[in-house]
Structure 1
Amino acid sequence: MKVLKFGGSSVANAANMNKVIEIVQESIQKDKTVLVVSALGGVTDALLQAGAQASVGNDAYKEALKELEQKHLDTVRALLPIQQQSATLSLVKQHFNELENICDGVSLLRELSGRTKDRIVSFGELLSSLIISAKLQTLHADLQWVDARQLVVTDSAFGNAAVDFEATNENIAAYFRANQHQLYVVPGFIAADQQKNTTTVGRGGSDYTGAIFAAALNAAVLEIWTDVSGMMTADPRVVQNAKPINHISYQEAMELSHFGAKIIYPPTIQPVMSRNIPVWVKNTFAPKAYGTLIEQVLTANGNDFIRGISSINNIALLSLEGTGMVGVPGFSKRLFEALANEQVNVILITQSSSEHSICVAINDANAIVAKRSIDQAFNHELRSGLLEPVKVEQGLSVVAVVGEKMKSQPGVSGKMFGALGRNGINVRAIAQGSSEKNISAVLSSADVKKAINVLHEEFFETTYKQLNLFIAGTGNVGGKLLAQIHKQLVYLKDQLRLQIHVTGLANSKKILFNEDGIDLENWKVLLADAAPGSIHDFVKRIREKNLRNSVFVDVTANEEVAGVYEQLLEKSVAVVACNKIAASSSYERYLHLKSLSRQYNAPFLFETNVGAGLPVIGTLNDLLRSGDQVNRIQAVLSGTLNFVFNHYNGTKSFASVVRQAQEEGYTEPDPRLDLGGTDVMRKIMILAREAGQQLEMKDITNNAFLPASCFNGSVEDFYNEMEKQEPHFKALYNEAASRNCKLKFVASYEHGKAAVGLQHIPAESDFYHLYGKDNLVLFFTERYPEQPLVIKGAGAGADVTASGVFADMIRAGRV
């Protein structure tokens, strides 16, 4: 004997019903079969709504019933041969006449009791099962339609009645002994109490009906046919890479279904588990797919000690605490009695070992009545100050990691909460049963999607980690960065197990988002066609999206962009900054950004602030982390100035050489930041700060070489003024040349002091043979006291700067 149950989507219309009938026909060729069916898709909700409308005197219920009647009549006409329709059409009309009479009575009385509501919704399963029976009869199947209300006995808790298994099992066994057919068609969901009143066994109860019949008949298997190919490691609507679960234990299936997995109704498992009857979840629309087989405990292999991740939304957390709880026997009993008296179901419990506090998670809809009942139960303690008033937190969800074999695998909890913490997901409460089949965490509903994806990636996606990039700035460096990312996508996925999604792009006018990743071959066109928006709009969307492994990349030189870092770090979004403004702002803000980075587990990386793609800051940090101490730094830190002084020899005007440097992409948008020394001041200050020195811009000595008149007006005015000041620049060059020296703009840091300025560099200096746009940094430390640690290479240019940003981005993603 096999029991096959088909859900509402499987019997939603005639086309779907024909698929059901094909599966049933194949089954009855081999085994006696019980077919349990749900109502046509959407019918149960429509019936409940019609009853509710009738109860308040809203005549809209009449039109709703007509639409439902027409839906069933259309199904009959589409499903049955025309010569064999009349009897079934008449049966449908009779049932709807009865249903309309019931609703008319509800409308007259303005009352909808639980008993009447159960009677109304029962018509859905009755009609669908009768229609399918009629179709199978036209195919000459040896079948019997069975009214579940005649066999399944429950109490009178209408809406969610409890089954009397002793009476039910006896009824079913006796009925099947007395009737010998190859197929039995049974309406799911419905039953009857001792007084023969129609009851229902809970929403989703058709699964339960199937389990009840399977257990009573000791069936070989219970097949649950639905519209998905079995249970998944997570909700595929939330997790793009959710995987099918081929095999799962009864206990794991119950845990997952309890915590929100909608594939199977939670009470379904218990009757079949007691008889060791396998449950096979299959897809009506892909019958050859394996699905999920639920049976006794399975042995975990490799990393499959976690079976799935599930969640329940609309949760409220009630917290009760106070000294009046400590060591008081029966305290918890009083709390749970208060909730039970109001029919409030407790989803999760956690209590501190000191007994000073206890909190319970319940359905959000019950929060008010639950608080009132607890306040009444502990009125004396609350008035005397032994307890604090009940705290109610709403807008929460429970996320559960489920696996039968977790107890034999160390570190699961650490892995779970470590992954959540790294992504800035705050856990409000934790519960783990002594059986260790599940670890549950209460968190903000706003974080649920992110949390489930983070945990799924941690436990199931061993092949790669997805990185969501939000890039501000699509100019010269930004464009090079996007090209480099595009080129390296396959390499990063294959070699570093990183799947890069450029999820957001912004320039000064437009913002563009795509959670599946922006097409990097076509990003310019897409951004040009995108919606207008500011950097603040961009950041707001990033925060709202709340995606895992998010990295914000600033490749601008814009102060407004640098001002948003705090908002991102506070949401655990890593910040990679080419922009020097933040790290060179006030020392207080610099420390604050560093502190936020640590507090929210969000890297704040700015390697390209000094030396473009050269590993200057990284090397400095490595020295300090390994216990070294920096005594002195000497450096040529401006690729722009080095380029200019390497190319200026008095034969071409100084202004023309600077213009060439700007055209080749080596200068800041305003070259005066380079030539005036401001950019170099920022860089040496950042290095000093990273070395542990408290330093502000005002503390740095700037021996400037640019005449003050060059700072007036626009950038073009600046070039014009430099042309006028050509004698000044030629004099600087000639003086150095007369001493067989070169001009270099050098930054230095020693004994807590920093200075920048133009210097004459003799031939024996490390700086003398520094060509093109190269930078050179000399670290004199305790370990390198006389022969410094030297870092040398290109310190300017879009390509090398982009590559430095890219490297920081990868570092942030691999934390």
Structure 2
Amino acid sequence: MKVLKFGGSSVAKAANIQKVVNIVKRGNEPQIVVVSALGGVTDMLIKAGMLAENGDELYKEVLHELEIKHLDAARELLPVTNQSGCLSMVKQYFNELEDICEGVYRLQELSLRTKDRIVSFGELLSSKIISAYMLSQHVAHQWIDSRKVIKTNSNFSFAGVDFSETNKLISDAIFSSKENLFLAPGFIASDVNNHTTTLGRGGSDYTAAIFAAAVNASSLEIWTDVTGMMTADPRWVANAKTIDSTSYQAAMELSHFGAKVIYPPTIQPVMQQNIPTYIKNTFAPDEKGTLIQELNSASSAAAGTEIITGISSINSLALLSLEGSGMVGIPGFSKRLFEALANEKVNVILITQSSSEHSICVAVNAADASKAKEAVDKTFEPEISNGKVEPLKIERELSIIALVGDKMKSHPGISGRMFGALGRNGINVRAIAQGSSERNISTVIAAADVKKAVNVLHEAFFESTTYKQLNIFIVGVGNVGSKLIAQLKQQQEFLLEHSNIQARITGIANSRKMLFVDNGNAINLNTWQQDLEKGDQMSLDKFVETVIDKNLRNAVFVDVTANGEVAKVYKQLLEKSISVVACNKIAASSAYDNYKSLKFTANEFNALYLFETNVGAGLPVISTLNDLRKSGDVVNKIQAVLSGTLNFVFNHYNGSVPFAEVVRQAQKEGYTEPDPRLDLGGTDVMRKILILAREAGEQMEMEDITNNGFLPASCFEGSVDDFYAEMLRQEPHFRALYDVAHSRNSKLKFVAQYEGGKASVGLQHIPADSDFYHLYGKDNIVLFYTQRYPVQPLVVKGAGAGADVTASGVFADIIRVAR
């Protein structure tokens, strides 16, 4: 004999009930079928009772709506010739229900006993209607009133079962019958006085387990609207997977910590009898679902290789902290605390105590926090008054997230992976608890972080062989930014296939507009330009606020601007563990204290601050320098041509066309900053050598760098157009620079140098035997002289300007974040 339970979603409407009966018909052994109320009915019955208690006659409308719902279900299920008896039964039940609610309305009092009586009608009605439908389909069966066979104490709304009496009554009822199929309402029972009791919300699962244990069933099947227990809530985690098989203990932990697919007390009766329990989908009956059983070596192997079974959470919690020096070494404090909570019927969900005995923390339902504080403060009033103990502290808006798995005990490092993944994503852990069974690690976190935390942990433990999701926010989608988006689009499939990285652009902005997507989607990279034009007006503060509020895992903010205001928001983002990739040089070349603060903040909050493209565009200049220092080398000198713009200009200028036209060509081809004077005036190169000096360990400011510029002062006056006009007037000056170099068989190069704590930039005559002489186009070159490379320098050389090259450097930094 097996037991089948069908939940509210499985019997929500007539079409679903037909599916249920078809599943029952497939059975090839005696069956007990337990059913819940029609979907949503229990909540509506509670609402009717509460309205009546408050003296609100709207309870009648709720009851009328419920009556219509059940009458419609009966009419849809039953042939006209079979309807009258069932419809009369429904009306009779609702007449009785209306009388009870009228009594509540008149007294304006709703006791737990009366509430149990009211909500019991949900299961009674659904089971009676389903019974009538089964008879119309010639499915022979016996309807059993669960109240007559399940006996409990009088703890109304959450009654405790008398298993000795219940097992005898169920056995007598089942085994004395000639039928092979039994139908019973779930959730309801009765006490010794035959008053209706209920087994707690979700109690229909428990009813089925009670029946299964009483008859020593071959199996218990819990039929719901999902295909088994999931590794995480599928509403939050898109890649949640069905758990093929797990132990009773792990299933109990998951259900206790919020896995709604099974009611926590359900496990105990079937575990004691070692009855295999299946979680199956009414709407996909052929799917395997989840098997819950006692794990031995064979079933453990069948359960798969995952160390973690699943991730679940409990929301709407408060953390209560009892602290005080008077607690240290004094026995009995914990006993008094828990007695105070128990007397107020406050359920403790999690407990943790410091080894110093200075504090005890417990997590409780948020709704119980105030009465818990009142009770505890009263209990410890003498100690509070003399300062030995502080008044109970309450922290609200918290959640518990639990990592559950049978194999955790034999695998070290699980908690490290868990806390590392949370820490890297800026999720602060308020309290930790782990039982000696090592089957569950529970952490208390901010409620606002729970969805992000579930996704982070699911990715860390279940998606290592699939992909890591990267959520990218880009400010600046001009020349370089648009190239970056094009590269991300082109490489999406490659990254997913070869690096297990899902790179999603979640927000973009230019100086006028900003665009975000919601509900786990990504910006459409085919239409992003048109979509951005339809976006909201750009506000940097609002953009940053939205990035933070979205609270997405593995978030990275990408600055592809030259805007000083954008550079000012890096710290705010890093403090939220959002990594920053900056093409913008302003932050890294700002005041030294700010530069160090950004580096420190990134390290403190487990984020990355990457700015490889600040020097050398796509060349690995900064990463090479960092690798040298991390390996213990010391940088003695740096010589470099760091401006692709200036190298392009002086490689192409020979006096045949005006210097201004060569600069204009460089700007047209995307090699210059928006204002070319930043390049030609040496400011951009100063920033770059400053950044290299700082990365080499030097404490240096911009004003410490000597700039031997070549532009006449008049070129810096007015607008960019004025700049080009003035360069044309100054053409003899530029021609003279070229002629002098040419006469010495040298080339003009704008060289940056750092040595001995000093740095300089300026135009130099480069002879043919120099490393800088054969530097063509927009190439950059950096020479690192170190303790390991004292004579022959370590050379990094290649394209140092251009939108595509710079975008590829930003792309590489984004991938570093993912890794």
TM range (shorter): over 0.9
Other-structure match for 2:205: 207
Secondary structure of residue in 2 paired with 1:235: coil
- Within 5 Å, give how 1:236-275 maps onto structure 2: 236-275=234-273
- Give the CA deviation at 1:497: 1.4
Amino acid at match of 1:404: D
* 1:248-299 Cα distance to aligned partner (Å, 9 max, x none): 1100100000000000000001011111111111111110011111111242
- Structure 2 match to 1:437: 439
- Checking the alignment, whether the CA contact within 8 Å between 1:477 and 1:802 is kept in structure 2 is yes
1:666-745 correspondence runs (5 A): 666-745=671-750
> In 1, Cα distance between the equivalents of 2:642 and 2:391?
61
Match of 1:346 among 326, 343, 348: 348
Cα deviation, 1:521-556, whole Å, max 9, x if unaligned, reads 222222222222322222111111111111111111
When structure 1 is superposed on structure 2, of 55-64 and 381-390 the one drifting more is 381-390
Alignment partner, residue 385 of structure 2: 383
1:487 corresponds to = 490
Distance 2:235 2:326 in 1: 46
Q: Counterparts of 2:293 and 2:486 in 1: how far apart (Å)? A: 51
Partner of 1:620: 625
* Equivalent-residue separation in structure 1 for 2:35 and 2:728 (angstroms): 89
Deviates more, 1:268-277 or 1:481-490: 481-490
Match of 2:294 in 1: 296
C-alpha distance in 2, partners of 1:227/1:672?
66
1:330 to 332, 337, 341: 332
Q: Greater CA deviation, 519-528 or 221-230?
A: 519-528
The aligned counterpart of 1:511 is 514
SS in 2 for 1:299: helix
Specify every segment of 5 or more residues in structure 2 that has no aligned partner in the other structure, as ranges.
Answer: none
1:767-794 superposed Cα distances (whole Å, 9 cap, x missing partner): 1121111111111111111111111111
- Structure 1 residue runs of 4+, over 6 Å off? none
Structure 1 residue 384: Cα displacement: 1.0
Q: Which residue of 1 aligns with 2:423?
A: 421
- CA distance in 2 between counterparts of 1:223 and 1:34 reads 10
User: Which residue matches 2:9?
Assistant: 9
CA deviation string 1:545-580 (max 9, x = no partner): 111111111111111211111111111111111110
515-524 or 633-642, larger mean C-alpha shift: 515-524
Cα deviation for residue 302 of structure 1 reads 6.5
Q: Aligned equivalents of 1:776 and 1:396: distance in 2?
A: 53
In 2, are the aligned partners of 1:344 and 1:366 still within 8 Å (CA)?
Answer: yes
The corresponding residue for 2:217 is 219
Which aligned pairs between 1:32-111 and structure 2 lie closer than 5 A? 32-111=30-109
Tell me by how many angstroms 1:141 deviates: 2.1
Residue of structure 1 equivalent to 2:456: 454
Deviation at 1:758, TM superposition (A): 1.0
Residue identity in the other structure for 2:790: P
- Tell me by how many angstroms 1:364 deviates: 0.7
Native 8 Å contact 1:430 1:440 kept in 2: yes
The aligned amino acid for 1:186 is A
Query: 2:169 matched to which residue of 1?
Result: 171
1:362 is the counterpart of 2:364: yes
2:526 to 497, 521, 527: 521
Partners of 2:137 and 2:454 in 1: how far apart? 47
Contact 1:350–1:429 (8 Å) recurs in 2: yes
1:557 to 562, 573, 577: 562
Counterpart Cα distance in 2 of 1:25 and 1:774:
77
Which residue type is aligned with residue 495 of structure 1? Answer: H
Q: CA deviation at 1:479?
A: 1.2
Q: Distance in 1 between matches of 2:62 and 2:636?
A: 84
Structure 1 residue 688: deviation in Å?
Answer: 0.4
1:571 to 567, 573, 576: 576
Alignment of 1:601-612 (within 5 A): 601-612=606-617
Partners of 1:375 and 1:602 in 2: CA distance: 41
SS in 2 for 1:618: helix
Letter in 1 for 2:233: D
Cα distance in 2 for residues equivalent to 1:146 and 1:289: 30
Tell me the distance in 1 between the aligned counterparts of 2:402 and 2:98.
44
Q: Does 1:774 align with 2:779?
A: yes
Alignment partner for residue 502 of structure 2, among 499, 504, 529?
499
Aligned to 2:317: 315
1:475 to 457, 473, 478: 478
1:728-767 aligned within 5 A: 728-767=733-772
Distance 2:619 2:544 in 1: 29
Shift in Å at residue 765 of structure 1?
A: 1.6
Amino acid in structure 2 at the alignment position of 1:511: M
Local SS of the residue matching 1:241: coil
Q: Could you tell me how far apart the structure 2 residues matched to 1:408 and 1:759 are?
A: 66
Distance 1:671 1:179 in 2: 95
1:635 equivalenced with 2:636 (yes/no): no
Q: Kindly indicate whether the alpha-carbon contact (under 8 Å) linking 1:7 and 1:206 is maintained by their aligned counterparts in 2.
A: yes
AA of the residue aligned to 2:373: K
SS at the partner of 1:511? Answer: strand
Aligned length: 812
Note the C-alpha offset of 1:388.
1.9
Q: CA RMSD in A?
A: 1.0
Report the Cα distance in structure 2 between the residues aligned to 1:375 and 1:493, rounded to whole angstroms: 56
Query: How far apart in 2 are the matches of 1:143 and 1:15?
Result: 21
Which amino acid in the other structure matches residue 410 of structure 2?
S
Q: One-letter code of the match for 2:450? A: V
Query: Which letter maps to 1:318?
Result: L
Distance 1:106 1:234 in 2: 41
Q: Secondary structure at the match of 2:26?
A: helix
> SS of the counterpart of 1:359?
strand
Identity %: 68
State how far apart, in whole Å, the 2-side matches of 1:397 and 1:739 are.
75
Q: Distance in 2 between matches of 1:627 and 1:287?
A: 63
3-state DSSP of counterpart to 1:4 = strand
- SS of equivalent residue, structure 1 residue 394: strand
| Structure 1 position 198, deviation (Å) | 0.6
How many angstroms does 1:322 deviate by?
1.4
Q: Distance in 2 between matches of 1:227 and 1:410?
A: 36
Separation (CA, whole Å) in 2 of partners of 1:424 and 1:508: 29
Give the letter aligned to residue 279 of structure 1: T
SS at match of 2:286: coil
- Report the CA distance between 1:516 and its aligned residue: 2.4
Contact 1:551–1:813 (CA<8 Å) still a contact in 2? no
Aligned to 2:188: 190
User: What do residues 686-711 of structure 1 show as CA deviations (whole Å, max 9, x unaligned)?
Assistant: 00000111111111111111111111
- The one-letter code of the counterpart of 2:649 is V
**TM-score normalized by the length of structure 1:** 0.99
1: CA distance, partners of 2:140 / 2:625: 83
Where does residue 401 of structure 2 map in the other structure? 399
Instruction: Using structure 2 for the length normalisation, give the TM-score.
Output: 0.98
Residue of structure 2 in register with 1:129 after alignment? 127
Letter in 2 for 1:731: A
Counterpart mapping for 1:632-671 below 5 A: 632-671=637-676
State the alpha-carbon separation in 2 of the partners of residues 793 and 252 from structure 1: 57
Deviations 1:656-699 (A, max 9, x none): 11100000000000001001110000000000000111111111
Q: Could you tell me how far apart the structure 2 residues matched to 1:38 and 1:535 are?
A: 52
Distance 1:102 1:671 in 2: 84
SS of alignment partner, residue 10 of structure 1: coil
Q: CA deviation at 1:106?
A: 0.5
